Amino acid sequence: MKTRLLGRTGFQISEVVIGGGFVGGILLHASDEIRRDALQMALKAGINWIDTAASYGNGQSEEVVGWLLKELPVSKRPQVSTKFAVDPEAGDYVGQIRRSLNQSLHRLQ
């Protein structure tokens, strides 16, 4: 699997990632056994990044990623990215981001 340097982070990230959203939907709609198998297959293929978001399944994707990663040794865990949305009408952007980040970290464990 080819990797790319992620900005100035020093992370070498696989060019292919596991998507946690509705396209494919494995993390949202499959059984726990299929979720585990899919993650193991991806890791064996050299994929080292999972992309998720609070909006994927109303937080379900982050929850699934959280418990799946807890089952792996720390040394085998892929990197994870998540996303959030800011409501421009609500103001307090920093507060919105902080609340969303805390909720995401809670779901991701």
Positions marked catalytic: 56
Question: Max CA-CA distance within the chain?
Answer: 44
Instruction: Give the alpha-carbon dihedral of 26, 9, 76, 107, to 10 degrees.
Output: -50
